Amino acid sequence: MDIIRYSLEKPVSVTVGVILVVLFGIIGLKALPVQLTPDVETPQITVNTSWGGATPYEVEKEIIEQQEEVLKGLQGLTKMESASYNSFGELTLSFEIDTDIDDALLRVSNKLNEVSNYPETANRPVIEAAGAQSSPVIWMVLRPKPENTEHINTYRTFFEDTVRQHLERVPGVGSLFIFGGTENQMEIIVDPQEMARFDVSINQIVRAVQNANTNISAGVLGIEKKNYRIRTVSQFQTPEEVFEVVLADDGIHRVYLRDVADVRAGHKKEDVSVLHNGEQVIVIGVRREQGANVLDMSDRLEQVVNNLNATLLEQNGL
């Protein structure tokens, strides 16, 4: 076919064709993801496990090695790296470039369920769809307003329970990197002299508090045509409830926790301090999810942060 002759004889058809090509080109250009650098990152998943008071050697032997044993057979896994620290263990899994990260997350979670004998005081592992070594693309700081006299360290639990979920829900956010602040905790301050007078040991206090601070399900009680679910609710809600824990009972006299200790609401010991312009703050770093568009994620996150500043944070003097 002679293209030149056809174009001269069918000018309307050629014009419509050119318009369609330009139109679809503009639509494709607007839909094209734009980033500062091409997305060629290796899909990575990080497994974090905390065990308070444990040494790096204990974390490696009791947690990391067991996790490595069940995860080494994952489909598409190309590299597995681990690091052990005081009270903390980290496992980074790298997958083939074309691996679906959501499918890999599901398989990692299922495999980790095969590890049943974690240390009693260790927390369950936390899985994140961002590599441990990937740098945050957005940094934010949380600080109190000038009229707020509360120290910023007391707001760590508030952030974890109330604010964090709003940031993690933003499409494209892989994980958050938090520095600063101390979480709330119930503190028991024992009196050595009173412990000696009542012949009570530290281990005895620890066991009594652990046993008392537990909700227990006792099963189902069937009466006629109805079933009643029976459970004891005894987890502590206030310091006053902790005072009533029984440490010893010889049938005549009882020794309560209030006899040998004081209980108060406090905060964990500060091990990290972050300053911004000479003011102590809580720092939040945002890691993007594998394959997410940085610009789109930044726009969505900015909207959420502005809404938090105008509502939830404003109400709490932050």
CB 97, CB 77: distance < 8 Å: no
Q: Is the overall model pTM greater than 0.85, yes or no?
A: no
| 236 vs 308, more confident | 308
Only one residue has tokens 């002759």, namely 5
The predicted structure's pLDDT at residue 181: 81
- Among 5-19, 24-38, 70-84, 206-220, the least confident range: 24-38
pLDDT tens across 223-260, in order? 777 877 777 777 777 777 788 888 877 777 888 888 88
**Eight-class DSSP state of 180:** S
Distant-in-sequence, close-in-space partners of 291: CB < 8 Å, separation ≥ 6 = 39, 101
Q: What's domain 135-183+268-318's architecture?
A: 2-Layer Sandwich (3.30)
SS3 111: helix
Q: Report the CATH superfamily, name and number, of domain 36-134.
A: Multidrug efflux transporter AcrB pore domain (3.30.70.1430)
Q: Are 119 and 62 in contact (CB under 8 A)?
A: yes
| Opening angle at CA 198, ends 196 and 201, nearest 5 | 60
Whole-angstrom Cα Rg for the chain: 29
DSSP secondary structure of 57-73: HHHIIIIIHHHHHHHTT
Instruction: Tell me which of 9-18, 93-102, 126-135, 268-277 is least confident.
Output: 126-135
pLDDT in tens, 42-93: 788 888 888 887 888 888 888 888 888 888 888 888 888 888 888 888 888 8
Task: Cite the residue boundaries of each domain of the chain with CATH code 3.30.2090.10.
Answer: 186-266
Q: Where in the chain is the domain with CATH 3.30.70.1320?
A: 135-183+268-318
Tell me where in the chain the CATH 3.30.70.1430 domain(s) lie: 36-134
Question: What is the dotted CATH code of the domain comprising 186-266?
Answer: 3.30.2090.10
